[in-house]
Amino acid sequence: MPPDYCRMVRDVRRARKLVARGTAAAGSGHPGGSFSMAEIVGVLLFGGLLRHDPGNPDWEERDRLVLSKGHAAPGLFASLAVAGYFDESEMDTLRSLGSRLQGHPDLRCPGVEFCGGSLGIGLSFSVGAALAARLDGAAHRVYAIIGDGETDEGQVWEAAMAAAKYGTDNLTAILDRNCIQQDSHTESVMPLDGPGPPGRGAADKWRAFGWNVIEADGHRVGQLHAALRAAAAHRGAPTVVIARTVKGRAVEHMEGNPKWHGKAPDPDVVPIIEAELDCQVAVAPSITAGGSPDLEGEARRCEEAGADLVHIDVMDGEFVPARTFGHERVARLRRATAVPFDVHLMIARPEKSALLYAEAGGDVVTVHAEACGEDTFGEIRDALRSARAGVGLAVSPGTELPEWAVRAAPSIDQVIVMSVVPGRSGQKYMEEAHGKTARIAARLRGAGFSGTIEADGGVGPENAGRCFADGARALACGSSVMGAPDARAAVGRIREAAAAERRRLLVREAGRLGGPALVEKWVGLHGGGCRAALEVMAAAEVA
């Protein structure tokens, strides 16, 4: 799994915000393709895969990151800024005369390896860089991010043939497969899939050119990290990672809409876009809730259902009456899926074993406030940080968030507000948890908390929206998902319930920032059924 999952998710979100800010300031640019590749660039720069040094951009042993789809330069610049190559405020100079941040990548910008201009050239450049590294006996790798629209260019396939002929296994290409190019959808302009099952043709083409092919969801950092590690380990041929993405990802009116390929947002809607980026919801099904002893199979079922996290309840028979399993079982589960693990320790004396669960594969490890005090939690936090795992703190229904936790808020990645009695299955959501979650969210916001609040226990489609309104941005779901005959459909219903409440929140934010005129403008950016729903919400807010 990628190191420091929580930080990576936050950094990707920061980069998307900078793209919105920079393109709005410039009045031009390409947010759609920048958003679709945000996790791709983020996993490389923030996930410990790309050897690089922001303090020494020309370090000879660095890996090379080539952005062939150069129009997505705002996405590269934003991620480089977040990584520390230059101050984030410089994004305000995007596309300005004299700026280092031009409309396409420019070597004057620290961290840029390739002056992207005409599409289709980046892969040829990358093949040459990979061959040069081999001739020099250098150990660095070359990563080339290419667009699916630019693969209309014949030069891409000439480069692909050359890379395979020369066995450039130090080269990884990542295809941002968002299915949209400048004019329209790729399959209507120049089909990349061709005849046959949808989504399979691109992989078959690359295999036919002699490449090792790995497919991944381009917005799931766990899958991407695993795919890129496998690519680096492959020998004898170059690897292409086909990353299935959504153009304009995480901004609803941009998602899948060709017009946002090269259209910048207006400055007055940027704060609403930033609020939307802060309102993304993670669904975390609990693998023990389905009652199956095949936990590896349940973990894979979570992945197939499209879950963002796998929620793992660990019970010791002492802190709670029930007992589940230890860190050794978590380590075995880790081999079953690349989905990040949300490990909830309902155990006494967590300071003795929290680190073991992080080392076993826990991406976020949460301990209970009832099981530790301020000093003990500080020890646990430091141990988890040393393992680059997210730090979580949970409170049971009868417990308010302690003052020491509020003081520690800036160093906490996740706070779980339990809405059922820990250790008992099949319980209904305790309605009083809604008010408690809202209180905790308000206290944490005022204390510099930048992590996630998770609602845990009895969460399903019927109350996911209200949990979101309380401030929860992660939803631990038990039987509502794992007990459902169609887990994927259940996850979809929970997402839609949260999305409906997010739309309502954003309409209110538009009204707060700009009154009815900005509300009308925001609603008008959307299309189809979403626009109709927003119009109803806007009318209700006015009434």
CB atoms within 10 A of CB 355: 21
Query: Rounded to an integer, what distance in angstroms lies between the CA atom of residue 277 and that of residue 178?
Result: 19
Query: Rounded to an integer, what distance in angstroms lies between the CA atom of residue 404 and that of residue 401?
Result: 8
* Domain-embedded: residue 342: yes
Q: Which residue has the tokens 């030069």?
A: 155
End-of-domain residue from the set 456, 484, 512: 484
Per DSSP, the three-state class of 148 is coil
311 and 164 both lie in a single domain = no
Question: Angle of helix 5-26 relative to helix 221-233, nearest 10 degrees?
Answer: 100
* Domain-embedded: residue 495: no
pLDDT category at 197 given cuts 50, 70, 90 is low
* Domain-embedded: residue 541: no
Question: Angle of helix 154-165 relative to helix 122-136, nearest 10 degrees?
Answer: 20
* pLDDT of 196 above 80: no
* Domain-embedded: residue 526: no
256 and 296 both lie in a single domain = no
| pLDDT for position 199 | 57
* pLDDT of 200 above 70: no
| pLDDT for position 542 | 63
Mean pLDDT of 403-411: 96
For the chain, the C-alpha Rg in angstroms (whole number) is 23
Would the CA dihedral through 134, 135, 137, 140 be positive or negative? negative
End-of-domain residue from the set 245, 276, 307: 276
Are 351 and 364 in contact by the 8 Å Cβ rule? The answer is: no
* pLDDT of 470 above 90: yes
CATH of the domain at 408: 3.20.20.70
Phi, psi of 117 (to 5 degrees): -140, -90
374 and 265 both lie in a single domain = no
Q: Which residue has the tokens 């204390």?
A: 447
180 and 101 both lie in a single domain = yes
Q: Which of 322 and 68 is assigned the larger pLDDT?
A: 68
How many helices (H) and strands (E) the chain has is answered by 20, 13
Phi, psi of 219 (to 5 degrees): -115, 5
Long-range Cβ pairs for the range 502-506 (8 Å, 24+): 502/276, 502/279, 502/281, 502/468, 503/252, 503/530, 503/533, 503/534, 503/537, 504/469, 504/537, 504/541, 505/275, 505/279, 505/469, 506/272, 506/275, 506/276, 506/279
Which domain range does residue 66 map to? 5-276
HEC profile of 186-224: HHHHCCCCCCCCCCCHHHHHHHHCCCEEEEEECCCHHHH
Tell me how many domains the chain contains: 2
Are 305 and 331 in contact by the 8 Å Cβ rule? The answer is: no
Q: Where are the extended beta strands (E) located within 37-184? A: 64-67, 142-147, 171-177
For 497-536, the DSSP string reads: HHHHHHHHHHHHHHHHHHHHHHHHHHHHT--HHHHHHHHH
457 and 366 both lie in a single domain = yes
* Domain-embedded: residue 64: yes
Per DSSP, the three-state class of 171 is strand
Q: Which of 198 and 219 is assigned the larger pLDDT?
A: 219
423 and 398 both lie in a single domain = yes
Instruction: Specify the DSSP element, H or E, that contains 282.
Output: strand 282-285
Q: Give the CA count within 13 Å in the CB-facing half-sphere of 258.
A: 12
* pLDDT of 334 above 80: yes
Tokens of 148: 């699916």
Are 438 and 470 in contact by the 8 Å Cβ rule? The answer is: yes
Mean pLDDT of 243-249: 95
176 and 308 both lie in a single domain = no
Closest-CA residue to 389 (of 417, 367, 357): 357
Amino acid identity, position 163 = A
231 and 371 both lie in a single domain = no
* Domain-embedded: residue 355: yes
CB atoms within 10 A of CB 194: 11
Instruction: Specify the DSSP element, H or E, that contains 75.
Output: helix 73-83
255 and 295 both lie in a single domain = no
171 and 185 both lie in a single domain = yes
| pLDDT for position 404 | 97
* pLDDT of 119 above 90: no
* Domain-embedded: residue 475: yes
Are 98 and 106 in contact by the 8 Å Cβ rule? The answer is: no
* pLDDT of 198 above 70: no
CATH of the domain at 159: 3.40.50.970
Residues with Cβ < 8 Å from 262, sequence gap 6 or more?
28, 29, 30, 32, 71, 182
Query: Rounded to an integer, what distance in angstroms lies between the CA atom of residue 367 and that of residue 374?
Result: 12
Residues shown for the chain? 543
* Domain-embedded: residue 476: yes
Closest-CA residue to 416 (of 490, 482, 345, 354): 345
Query: Rounded to an integer, what distance in angstroms lies between the CA atom of residue 339 and that of residue 381?
Result: 23
286 and 272 both lie in a single domain = no
**pTM for this entry:** 0.95
* pLDDT of 504 above 80: yes
Q: What is the pLDDT of residues 249-267, one digit of tens each?
A: 999 999 999 999 989 999 9
Query: Rounded to an integer, what distance in angstroms lies between the CA atom of residue 416 and that of residue 436?
Result: 11
Q: Strand pairing of 452-456 and 171-177?
A: unpaired
143 and 244 both lie in a single domain = yes
Mean pLDDT of 226-241: 97
End-of-domain residue from the set 431, 457, 484: 484
Return mean pLDDT, the chain.
94
* pLDDT of 475 above 80: yes
